[in-house]
Structure 1
Amino acid sequence: MSIFSDDDTLVPASAQLPDASGTDFKEGVGLSNPLLSQNSRQMLDLVNRLHSTGVQVDIDLPQIAVIGSQSAGKSSLIESISGITLPRAAGTCTRCPTECRLFRSSDAWNCSVSLSIHENGKFRTETFGDVITDKSQVEDRIRRAQWAILNPSVRKTKGVKYFLTEDDQGSTLELTFSSNFVTLKISGPDVADLSFCDLPGLIAGVGLTGNTGDIDLVKNLVASYIKRPSCIILLTVACETDFQNQGAQELAKAYDPNGKRTIGVLTKPDRIPPGEEHNWISLIRNERESLDNGWYCVKQPGSDQLKKGITWAQARKREDEFFASTAAWSELDSMYHKYLRTGNLVDRLSSILSDLISKRLPEIQEEIDKSIIATRDALNSLPKAPSADPQNEIASLLHGFVRDLARHVEGVPEEGLLQDIRPAQETFRRAVRITAPDFQPFEKRYKGAKRIEKAQFLSSEEESESEDPSSFDNGIVLDAGDEEFDDIVVTGKSIYIDEVFEVANQARTRELPGSYPFVVQETYIKSIVKKWHTPAQILCHTVYHILSEHVRRLVHIHFGSFGQGQLEQHIKVLLQDHLNKCMERTNERIAWLMKLESRPFSLNTHYFTDYKEKFLTHYRSAREKDRNPRLMAAIEEYTPPPPAFGFNRGVVSPPAPLGIAKVLASLVEMGMPGIKPDALAKLIEPDGMEPALIIMADVRAYFQVAYKRFVDNIPLAIDYELVWGAERGILNVLNTGLGINGPDGHRICKELAQENPTVAGRREELMKKQERVFAAGQQLLQIF
């Protein structure tokens, strides 16, 4: 079982309770009473073994918490319950918790002391001195241990040995109270199987020199125990002080408002002022401040009796005499006598605690099982623990990273590198596509009034995409207000036929009449091609940033949890330098491709000729419609007549041809069969702009050939030099840059493998928790 109490401050620390023969008292007392039932003893032994594993930090174990204000007689009560004597001193002796773990053993009595420290989110236990075999040394050792806990900076710089050897009399304290605690492990043939924690008593005031924060500090410390659902609250109230003025009662009521798990204990009944006995008797009768488990009253030796060396047997005898001879208590109905005397209280505590333990066993088993699973999962979620061979481990990580990078460069399904790049490639294609020259087969004076429609054959070939430059998206950032944007866009700057004709005439040198130099077409083509450099550069930079981000993510995935992050950082620097070099080569390749396009050339004669004919027809048709709309409309509306054999020649004659049909019929009569309606457009008198139409068709057709070639070559170059280049030779780059294969490779890898202190601390904490809960699980196996 576990008993947690606050410190009492009645008597000097030297007071002991010897038996009548002058030796330590050896009769079973309280929960060490051998007459306890076997089942109760088994339950109490179990919970003490669970406490010995430390698992109470992780799960809620049944316990008894003795609370009360200063001078409420708590220490004397604990001595009566446990059968041992606690160290005492005048004033507030206990400034930090003192956890005592008692084990019955056939070996000689001994005691070990340790410090349990919570610092920076970590918990550790440090042995404080050698094992004690003389009970008279325990009080001094505990006092020195508390001294060490209350002076953390001295303990850190000088170690615990300083506090074991130096004189602590008159020493100053850095802290007035602390939640860190002293742990005692006591075993012997006459020791009870139990545990308790001696806590600072609740403070009513701190005086002129005290710290008001200590009041709440101690209160919160006590509350941290009694708020647990499995904690039985043993509320100690001194009869010499008004009941309502004792803060422990209010604290207990705050965490157990219905009194389900609180047991009241009245101490110092011999100090009740005359005539006020009924106020306390009403509690024993459970008539006020009712508790499910009732109120008890005990009479412990006073400080003067302890100084004179009263024995335990004498103390119990005097307690019996007091309740038998004092009228207020002896006249109680017999049914209330079971609520008087320490022995009755102890029997009741034993029964309640053992019953609670039995009831809680299935829940404790479930909590331990869940804690084992949760702890194992938490450990598995941590980065892999440092290897004893960091050089091989780093080499393995590098190979794994290179394989994964190659896989992403090759392409992975869904949200991979190539999927992120593809929108930028499409935007690049559109950016080049809209640089197509906007030739208008009309004079500039008709600007705004006449405009050629988009060629239908282009709509079918290149889908119905927008020609509007403002529709750019998908990663390439172009602002319609930027000069750079205006510079690459030819669309919107219409080129009229008379402008083309003027340029052609100005370019003539020694050509024959009606002939024009190729430099005209070349000039237009070069003015278009030079606009392609900016979209190519934008695509290159966009792919570079996308690739860099993917590579950084992969680096973090593979190396982010290794060591303290130095390896990840070094690799990021090396890869950034590697990508920058790939970027330089890519820019050189783009510049080279731009130079190739600086001179018009194509062996794709059929493709070029086909487009030239289509564009020339497109431009001519638009101009002819403008000059003779009636004739062109008639040609477009012409429908060939049905075959002659569709009529009965003997009865009905075919209708006489009209319009275009009549003209075509006349041409047949003149010996010119096979003339198509479109050929009639040639009857329109030429206006001298035919050379300009041919130049326009040449340039526009070449654009179709060149731009489709360019929008393939640039992404291919970027893919080869930049994307594939990121993976090409990368293992050698990393090995060389890190120096892990050099003469200092082992030292370098060892430094890189140093684990992050936070992760190391978390792993250590979880490992200790895993040990605790596993050890607790093993203890439970002995019961089930």
Structure 2
Amino acid sequence: MPVRSTPASSALTVQDGLEIMGSTVKKLVHEIKELDHHGISYEVPLPKIVVVGDQSAGKSSLIEAISEIKVPRDTSTCTRCPLQINLVDGGEKWSCVVSLLKNYDFDRNPDTNTPRSPLHPWYLKAASTKVHLTQVERKEDLERVIRQAQYLTLNPDINPSLSAAQFAHLPTTGRMQEFSPNVVCLEITAPGLPNLSFHDLPGVFNQSAKGGKETVELVDRLVCEYIRQENTLILLAVPMESDAENSKASGLLNEIEGANARCIGVLTKPDCLQSADNGDAWRRVLEGVDFPQGHGYFAVKQPDRAALIGGITHDQARILEEQFFASASWTNRFPGFQDRLGTRNLQQALATKLAALIIGCLPRIIQQVQVAVNNIDEELRDLPDPPANALQVVTNILAHFDQTFRQRIDGEKQPNDLSTAWKDIKKTFKQDIISVQRPTLLVNTVGAPQELSRPVKNEYPTNPKSSPLKKPKTHTEVINLDSDTEQEAPVTPSPAKKRKFTLEYAPSSNALKTVFRLDEIRRTLDEFCSSGLPDIVEPKAVDNLILSTLENWHVPTSRLVNALENVLRSALQRTLEETAREWKTTLLFSEIMRISQQVFLRVHVGHLRDMSAPRALRLERTKPITEDTKTMSRYIQEETEHFQNARFKALSETYFDKLDTMTGKETSPHDRERKRQSDREGLKAKIGPDPYDREVRVMAQIRGYYQIASMRFVDNIRQMVEAELFAKFRDGLHNDLQDGLKVHGADCHDYCAKLLDDDPVRTQRRQELKQRKASLEDASCRLKALLDGSRYDTPQSSLEL
């Protein structure tokens, strides 16, 4: 891109810029307009002119005078969305391109729990979109087209991407919303136009025709959104037909720090000036004594309604305006303000001030353009061109993917998201099986067998092989003295926010626990007993009671498999994004994901879910089996002592209660415990033998075997995962991926090239980014040339995408 610097070129000052403004203002305005289309204004507010004023302040006439077009006029509000007008001096004839710039979406279902957008019910989009609507070749057609474009943005349910024919048939009236913050853009090109770009905003007002405050406040907030931007030159229309203090728009400027310093006041409707007193007040305004603005005031005179209806031209209106301000009635009352009177003086001042504002902002704008270029480079790194050696690239990606996932499974170097998640899963599973579901006994039954049913766990989906002990879930419990005081504390998984994966596997509730009653154990033992001798315990009865405690093991087992599948899927996804991120939009990326997740993961986790784990459950539930008699005997002895102590305490409590009733004296808990400790054997002799001693010993056998079986089952499931499932991922996934991607086939080169070939979306996005980068770099060179006072020859590529 050719840049020719002048000798001894130094940084361009504002004064230098003003001297060469005649040749550079067009370029300055053009560059800012194009940067706005590239979204730079979201990062740095680009220099612009905004026109504000009250309703009926003559703002529409002012816009028409500056832009030499006709805008919609109504008896009430006519401007219901921002109107961006870009004036370009050039071409052979007048033309206007009309577009819709959508920076906001309409919130149809607002969430009351989230903060409202400043322009509620409209909210800022993540990225703006510009939609071309039509091109107008005749000035007389523009007013109708503006109304149609405004209709389109006031009805957000209509898709703005319309054909020329569809747009031509849009109505010019009717609206779903009263106002919209989206912008109707007019690109007007004609010989001799001032090079200006400005925004016409809806006029502010005090009350809505429908009486609602929401509409009034929305327009106020919309106007404030524009005028608070630091690089904005504000054009304030103030009618001379009333007192200056009545201007609500002027009041909004006073509320925003620094707004008045960036403001040019424009006095409209000077022909409506009523009295000499008012003339003195307005002279003080022009002099900057009252209601001062940073750039002072101008006065303009626009044609009256009769002249407009008569078809007065722009040139005729300017001649009449000059005659009005040259009349004695004006010069006698307002002498010395000739350079601030008339639309042409205002146009020249606006062009000069806008150019000076742009030059002052150029360093920051150039810096932000470079930031945008860097962001494009970052995105392009994720969208590389297809490589020449596709087979080698695919092979390297698979090797990297396999190595990275192996490290995740093994956790050799350091704990990672997968290894940490699996550690929590198996820890919670162990707690569920060994602790949470460990059977317990209600030891409060002290007399003859009672007709009480055992409280059965909640109705989780259970094994079809149900226990014969299951009874209706109704009971009248007197004392719930659960002997399971030695339960482990619940395991709390590590907080999900501190790891890459969310572990959706919390410990089960005690609803899965099997709770026995002594009278029910007795009833079961009696039902199974075929001997005529008393207190005989049939082994089948004990087996049946033991197996009933394993009934809900499938619940935590299923939860373990589901949680494991989720973390493996997340690990595969994250590994793929880490190792093949730049190929995310290619067939290679989607095929690796499909083979690893939908094929390999589903098959092997499905085998664990449907085959291995059910087989381990079936073996445990078929028959109680163990050859570890030594450990079994130790557990039974420990559990017997545990339950006998609990029964002794329950029986002694009953004994003390009866004693207190007979003697009329109360034995304190401290005395009761002291007597149990000091005179245990004597107290036992007074109480007598436990009528449920047989049942207590059976319960000890149930618990003793449960400890062996639960630890064995937990170890088996862990072996199935770590010694089988993880081994398949470690040793078999890479081969399956190679087979699925045909890296060893006869047509491997062609197929791998197809895997890495871009899809249309990827190709189009890369082209768009490259074009946008070239445009921004082009603009940056031109802006630097303007800043340095150099000349820049615009290349043929221009700035157009």
State the match for 2:565 in structure 1.
Answer: 548
Q: What does 1:151-230 align with in structure 2 at a 5 Å threshold?
A: 151=152, 152=155, 159-164=163-168, 166=169, 172-175=173-176, 177-203=179-205, 215-216=216-217, 218-230=219-231
Q: What does 1:455-474 align with in structure 2 at a 5 Å threshold?
A: 469-471=486-488
Change beyond 3 A, Cα 1:171–1:100: closer
Distance in 2 of aligned mates of 1:173 and 1:426: 67
State the match for 2:520 in structure 1.
Answer: none
State the match for 2:786 in structure 1.
Answer: 783
SS at match of 1:471: coil
2:86 to 95, 101, 126: 101
- Give TM-score scaled by structure 2 length: 0.55
Task: Give the drift of 1:270.
Answer: 2.6
1:48 to 17, 22, 30: 30
- In the alignment, structure 1 segments of 5+ residues that lack a partner are 1-34, 436-466, 488-505, 507-521, 616-698
Distance in 1 of aligned mates of 2:212 and 2:489: 70
Q: What does 1:388-399 align with in structure 2 at a 5 Å threshold?
A: none
CA contact (8 A) 1:142 1:182 kept: no
State the match for 2:475 in structure 1.
Answer: none
1:281 to 258, 280, 283: 283
Does residue 127 of structure 1 match 2:132? yes
Change beyond 3 A, Cα 1:570–1:288: farther
Task: Give the drift of 1:485.
Answer: 8.2
1:290 to 289, 292, 303: 292
Distance in 2 of aligned mates of 1:304 and 1:599: 108
State the match for 1:9 in structure 2.
Answer: none
Task: Give the drift of 1:86.
Answer: 1.0
Distance in 1 of aligned mates of 2:718 and 2:319: 102
State the match for 2:363 in structure 1.
Answer: 362
The one-letter code matched in structure 2 to 1:330 is N
State the match for 1:231 in structure 2.
Answer: 232
Task: Give the drift of 1:65.
Answer: 2.0
Note the aligned Cα RMSD (angstroms). 6.5
Task: Give the drift of 1:362.
Answer: 1.7
Task: Give the drift of 1:238.
Answer: 1.7
CA contact (8 A) 1:233 1:252 kept: no
Change beyond 3 A, Cα 1:601–1:228: closer
1:111 to 87, 95, 104: 95
Distance in 1 of aligned mates of 2:385 and 2:560: 36
Task: Give the drift of 1:268.
Answer: 2.6
- Matched pairs, number: 586
Distance in 2 of aligned mates of 1:600 and 1:297: 105
CA contact (8 A) 2:297 2:340 kept: yes
The 10-residue stretch of structure 1 (551-560 or 223-232) with the greater mean CA deviation from structure 2: 551-560
Change beyond 3 A, Cα 1:774–1:95: farther
Task: Give the drift of 1:38.
Answer: 0.5
State the match for 1:261 in structure 2.
Answer: 262
Distance in 1 of aligned mates of 2:568 and 2:397: 15
- Give TM-score scaled by structure 1 length: 0.56
CA contact (8 A) 2:100 2:149 kept: no
Deviations 1:200-252 (A, max 9, x none): 444566658x9986655554444332221111212121212333333332233
State the match for 1:586 in structure 2.
Answer: 612
Structure number with larger C-alpha Rg:
1
Change beyond 3 A, Cα 1:545–1:173: closer
The one-letter code matched in structure 2 to 1:249 is S
SS at match of 1:260: helix
State the match for 1:659 in structure 2.
Answer: none
CA contact (8 A) 1:284 1:295 kept: yes
Task: Give the drift of 1:61.
Answer: 1.6
Task: Give the drift of 1:108.
Answer: 1.8
CA contact (8 A) 1:104 1:188 kept: yes
SS at match of 2:786: coil
Q: What does 1:298-309 align with in structure 2 at a 5 Å threshold?
A: 298-305=300-307, 307=310, 309=312
The one-letter code matched in structure 2 to 1:296 is F
Distance in 1 of aligned mates of 2:199 and 2:717: 78
Distance in 1 of aligned mates of 2:556 and 2:273: 94
CA contact (8 A) 2:55 2:203 kept: yes
Distance in 1 of aligned mates of 2:768 and 2:150: 21
Task: Give the drift of 1:483.
Answer: 5.8
CA contact (8 A) 1:476 1:538 kept: no
State the match for 2:643 in structure 1.
Answer: none
Distance in 1 of aligned mates of 2:165 and 2:509: 74
SS at match of 1:289: coil
Task: Give the drift of 1:87.
Answer: 1.5
Deviations 1:37-87 (A, max 9, x none): 304753563133221342464231222222223443434444554xx5212
CA contact (8 A) 2:50 2:227 kept: yes
Q: What does 1:730-741 align with in structure 2 at a 5 Å threshold?
A: none
Deviations 1:610-634 (A, max 9, x none): x99xx9xxxxxxxxxxxxxxxxxxx
Identity %: 23
State the match for 2:47 in structure 1.
Answer: 62
Task: Give the drift of 1:471.
Answer: 3.4
The one-letter code matched in structure 2 to 1:581 is H
CA contact (8 A) 1:268 1:299 kept: yes
State the match for 2:273 in structure 1.
Answer: 272
Q: What does 1:24-35 align with in structure 2 at a 5 Å threshold?
A: none
Distance in 2 of aligned mates of 1:305 and 1:470: 95
Distance in 2 of aligned mates of 1:198 and 1:255: 19
Deviations 1:462-502 (A, max 9, x none): xxxxx995237659968889764889xxxxxxxxxxxxxxx
SS at match of 2:260: coil
Does residue 85 of structure 1 match 2:68? yes
Change beyond 3 A, Cα 1:781–1:581: same
Task: Give the drift of 1:109.
Answer: 2.5
Task: Give the drift of 1:591.
Answer: 6.7
Distance in 2 of aligned mates of 1:50 and 1:66: 18
Distance in 2 of aligned mates of 1:71 and 1:480: 74
